[in-house]
Amino acid sequence: MKPSVTSIVPSPWSRLSAAAEHIYWKLLIVGLPCAMLVLTVLALLTWVPRYAFEDPVPVPVRVLQDGDVRLDPAGALRALAREQPVLLHDTQLAEKPFWFSFAVPAPRPGEAAVIEFPSRHMIDVACWEGDGLAPLGSADRVNAQGLLFESRAGFGLRPEGLTAGTTVLCEASFVGPARLTVQQWDEGALAMAGRVFERNAGLLEGGILMLALFVFITALINRNATYVLFAVWLVINLRMGALSTGWDLQWLGHNVPVEGISRGREVTIALLYVVTFALFRSLFLKEVVGVGLRALLAVTQWSTVLMLALSVTLPYAQFLPLVWVASTVGSLVLLAVLVRIVVLTRSPVAAWYGAAIAVMLLASVYEVVAAAFGLQEWIGSINSVTAALASSLLATMAIAAQMRQEHEQRVQAQAKLEQSFEVMPLGLFTLDLQGRFVAANPAMRAALGARVVEQGGGHWDHYFTSVDWQHMLKALLAQPVAEFELVGRASARSPRGRRFLVRASLAGERIEGSLQDVTERSLATERLQYLAHHDPLTQVLNREAIRAELDWSLHGAGAGGALALAFLDLDRFKLINDLFGHYAGDEVLRQVCARTKALLQEGMHLGRMGGDEFILLMPGRGMAQARAVCQSIVDSIAGQPYRVGDRSFYVRGSIGLVEVAAGSSTKDAISTADRACREAKQSRGSHLVVFERHSPALLEHEAEIRLAGQLSASDDLQGLHLAMQPIMSLREPAQSLDFEVLLRMRDARGEDVPTTRLITAAEKSGRMSVIDRWVLRQTLSWVREHQGRLPHTRFICMNLSGASLNDETFVQDAVELLRHYADVAHYLCLEITESVALHDLENTRRFIAQVHELGAKVALDDFGAGYTSFSYLKELRGDLLKIDGSFIVNMNQHPANVAIVEAIVGLARNLGMRTVAEWAEDGATVQALAEIGIDYVQGFAIARPQSPERLLEMCSSADLVNDPELLHSLPLQA
């Protein structure tokens, strides 16, 4: 429906009313001020002045400065007779009294004459009648006696009883650049001039003080320190005008104490320049940076502070020349800077402020120059009074310009804010204290709907669920700014509700805030947080997260309760990756985790440690329940094949389950479970091994952990000692006493520590190379000490661990030890296993070469147990070949072992190496080895490990054999 014509076309009456309103305001704002201005100009040009008077008549005067010897009136009158009459005389800042005389001029017909001494620098004066030297009176700035009186800025004399031509003698004292003149006034004209003087003083004082008060109030309202400084500058400028006209002797109608007049003038002049520079710095600090004269301005500014200090210490006559020079130089510097600022900024505010300061400075310089060079007639037209008026007027215009500029800036800022409010992509809103939306920008309406600010459709709780209105209001009452993330109500566009970041603050009776749609960011953040704690492939907890859960269970809420920990490892999983690719392997891992998680109960956690290794955490579960869960997982993993494309795979898993005591370390708990898992992988049963608390396996593992900690905690290897197992020559048993050095340890109670536990703990603690270094040093030292008691010893074997051989520092230390014990190094035979040697073949070859150069021997240990034994023999040159004991034990019951040993013996003989058979447990095996051609034999059939002292008591290894049949079968025993 279209609107009617009357609703869009104004009526004649409304148009007439609007026109009348417009004319009314134009008359008030434009017409009335213009009429007042025209009337004022006509008055100044045509109306009769109210304060008109005739100018005074200058009187010639003779002047003489008092000397070092004070003159009396008679002597002064005689001395003055020799001086020439002048119309004026400058004191040149002299502070000694001056004598002057003049003849009383004849008055105008019908007028009463008055004599005036119009000098504002005159402090006191006394006069005498010239013929008889009769006193006429005296006056100072406090009292006046006789015919003398205070007149405007100076003093006056009523020549009552004095005839025309009578000589008058006077003595006067001055402070400052005084000019002595004598003028004859008509008494009425002088009175009128006094009224004008007082009126001008009142107008100037009242006008400038009112302007200063206005500026000060404006400064307080706007909290503007610059305006405060400007108000102070106006008051000091007023006092400078008063000093120029001579009414600085009073302040607001009250007389200034006489003793403070001189010092007050000095301080006023100094303060003018201090405040002027301070005001300049406050107004144009930013502009000065662009001008580039900051150093010069700083020097000038601090010189004004020096002038202020001198104003309270120096006499007026000494201070005034200094301030003249300082003010002239400072004025020129400021004027130069002001011109550059105005040219560069083109700011009307800066121009008006600069003009105000420039007028004051130019007037002051002008007055100083005029006073210094005797140009007193100039001061009448331009002085501190006109400077005060002009600068105050310009200051008013500057304030008005600045107010206009600030108003325009506020209008522009408001327009920009309104524009920003409309185009801001961030939702902006205003709420009342009842939770209703009062205002919303387009982005806010787009986020929540167009009816967000309509009546009845815009309450907070209509749009949000997670943070209701009362919760938000309480948050704002507790803190000035509240920020939180919330969820919007579900809609067709967003069934789960969109997420918003809200930042709000309480502003009086309103709540101002912003709303940002962070749905995508929030979901991405949640995804990143999920990925930070979960394995991206299997979606179970990652290594850090499962360790954190275990740590919390051990030392947090789970302390003191039951805690079961399982370590899961897939058997031969690497074959799937090698044969069918990592894609198949990854899919199998995902399916394994899916099956495992389906069997977990609430509160249990599954985490991937890496590869195909997982940890299962079961807090609050007893071992019986945990065993049942783990067995079901093992059965589920192996129960059905895993289908990947058109292929199917069967995978088995092994689990090590341990009961973890409260207070155990995370590292030790995982290590124990890993140990149990490795035993489960080696078992042929259910693939589940359980270490219950106080079980022998668990106690053994805990003992290994404690021993590893003991070895890591100190460099002092306490409890270690050496044992020696004989190695008997099958060709010359009675002439050989060779042996292998074995490591042994006793605990603090003197009990033997199992060697397997010691080796495992040393490897876990990373101390294996330290222990090997100790064994090597002890062995060489023992051999050197007992070399004379070992005539039948050809070699002493010592086993090197993989950690030591691959430790460059140990290798260097071992070589240095062999050099140090060069005299016994030929006894030593270092045993190297195949797996260790092939880890870094080049490093092993270099080490063997160094050992041979130093005279020591090398034995290749555990030969036959690896996969690359023949390549091993080809690459490395050894002296002895120790056949792995697995071929020797029960050799006579396994013909294949006999054949293998025979082959090894033949191979070693062709390579120039001697053979050693380990683990010879009975005499029949020794006899069989002798028949095959083995060079040396080692095992319980010969002797168990002996102490070094026991070994030194023997002449040969045959002395330790206890089997008579074996002794009878040895070649040299027959």
What does the pLDDT read at residue 3?
Answer: 43
Give the separation between CA 1 and CA 3, rounded to whole angstroms: 7
| Residue 660, phi then psi, degrees to nearest 5 | -95, 130
Pair 658, 673: CB distance under 8 Å? yes
**pLDDT above 90: percentage of residues in the chain:** 21
- For the chain, give the number of residues: 974
What does the pLDDT read at residue 740?
Answer: 94
- Both tokens of 503, joined, read 């930042």
Give the separation between CA 129 and CA 754, rounded to whole angstroms: 139
Place of tokens 């589920």: 636
Radius of gyration for the chain, computed over Cα atoms and rounded to the nearest angstrom: 58
> Is residue 971 predicted with pLDDT exceeding 50?
yes
What does the pLDDT read at residue 886?
Answer: 86
Query: What are 271-301's pLDDT values in tens digits?
Result: 887 888 887 777 777 777 666 667 777 777 7
Q: Where are the alpha helices (DSSP H) in 97-186?
A: none
What does the pLDDT read at residue 379?
Answer: 45
| Cα torsion 867, 871, 875, 881: sign | positive
Return the closest-CA partner of residue 871 out of 900, 906, 841. 841
pLDDT band at 365 (very low <50, low <70, confident <90, very high): low
pLDDT band at 709 (very low <50, low <70, confident <90, very high): low
What does the pLDDT read at residue 388?
Answer: 66
What does the pLDDT read at residue 293?
Answer: 66
Give the separation between CA 235 and CA 211, rounded to whole angstroms: 9
Query: What are 606-665's pLDDT values in tens digits?
Result: 999 888 899 999 888 888 888 899 999 988 988 888 888 888 878 888 888 888 877 778
Give the separation between CA 904 and CA 910, rounded to whole angstroms: 10
Give the separation between CA 800 and CA 819, rounded to whole angstroms: 18
Q: By mean pLDDT, which of 120-124, 682-686, 936-940 is the weakest?
A: 682-686
Buried b (16+ CB within 10 A) or exposed e, 286-295: ebbeebeeee
Pair 126, 170: CB distance under 8 Å? yes
Pair 357, 279: CB distance under 8 Å? yes
What does the pLDDT read at residue 378?
Answer: 47
What does the pLDDT read at residue 701?
Answer: 60
- Which residue type is seen at 322? L
In 225-331, DSSP assigns E strands to: 250-251, 254-255
> Is residue 878 predicted with pLDDT exceeding 70?
yes
Task: Name every residue whose Cβ is closer than 8 Å to that of residue 287 and which is 6 or more positions away in sequence.
Answer: 341, 344, 345, 350
| Residue 232 or 398, more confident | 232
Place of tokens 């020097």: 299
pLDDT band at 4 (very low <50, low <70, confident <90, very high): very low
C-alpha angle with apex 290: 285 to 292, nearest 5 degrees?
95
Give the separation between CA 962 and CA 941, rounded to whole angstroms: 8
Pair 513, 524: CB distance under 8 Å? no
In 233-345, DSSP assigns E strands to: 250-251, 254-255
Inter-helix orientation angle 225-245/261-291, to 10°? 140
What does the pLDDT read at residue 712?
Answer: 56
Pair 737, 948: CB distance under 8 Å? no
Give the separation between CA 434 and CA 456, rounded to whole angstroms: 12
HEC assignment per residue over 845-884: HHHHHHHHHCCCEEEEEEECCCCCHHHHHHHCCCCEEEEC
Q: By mean pLDDT, which of 168-182, 256-270, 339-353, 462-476 is the weakest?
A: 339-353
Query: What are 382-408's pLDDT values in tens digits?
Result: 555 666 667 767 767 777 777 777 788
pLDDT band at 426 (very low <50, low <70, confident <90, very high): confident
What does the pLDDT read at residue 694?
Answer: 61
Burial of 203 (0-12, 13-18, 19+ CB in 10 A): exposed
Residue 935 has a CB neighbour count (10 Å cut-off) of 20
| Residue 561 or 382, more confident | 561
β-pairing verdict for 936-937 and 720-729 = antiparallel
pLDDT winner (highest mean) among 98-112, 855-869, 930-944: 930-944
Pair 148, 125: CB distance under 8 Å? yes
pLDDT band at 114 (very low <50, low <70, confident <90, very high): very high
| Residue 368 or 190, more confident | 190
Q: What is the mean pLDDT of the chain?
A: 82
What does the pLDDT read at residue 974?
Answer: 37
Give the separation between CA 694 and CA 692, rounded to whole angstroms: 6
Q: Checking phi first, is residue 575 left (phi over 0); if not, alpha (psi -120 to 50) or beta?
A: alpha
What does the pLDDT read at residue 451?
Answer: 76
Q: By mean pLDDT, which of 2-6, 462-466, 926-930 is the weakest?
A: 2-6
- Both tokens of 790, joined, read 């070992």
Give the separation between CA 757 and CA 742, rounded to whole angstroms: 14
What does the pLDDT read at residue 417?
Answer: 77
Pair 860, 834: CB distance under 8 Å? yes
Pair 672, 697: CB distance under 8 Å? no
Query: What are 14-66's pLDDT values in tens digits?
Result: 888 888 888 988 888 888 889 988 988 888 888 888 888 888 999 999 999 98
Give the separation between CA 354 and CA 971, rounded to whole angstroms: 126
What does the pLDDT read at residue 723?
Answer: 92
pLDDT band at 693 (very low <50, low <70, confident <90, very high): low
Output the furthest CA–CA distance in the chain (Å, rounded): 181
Q: Which residues pair with 430 in a beta bridge?
A: 439, 512
Query: What are 795-822's pLDDT values in tens digits?
Result: 999 998 877 888 888 889 999 999 999 9
Coil vs helix vs strand at 59: coil
Place of tokens 């007026």: 316
> Is residue 78 predicted with pLDDT exceeding 80?
yes
User: Whole-angstrom distance between the N-terminal and C-terminal Cα of the chain?
Assistant: 138
pLDDT band at 716 (very low <50, low <70, confident <90, very high): low
Pair 237, 392: CB distance under 8 Å? yes
Pair 803, 769: CB distance under 8 Å? yes
Pair 107, 178: CB distance under 8 Å? no
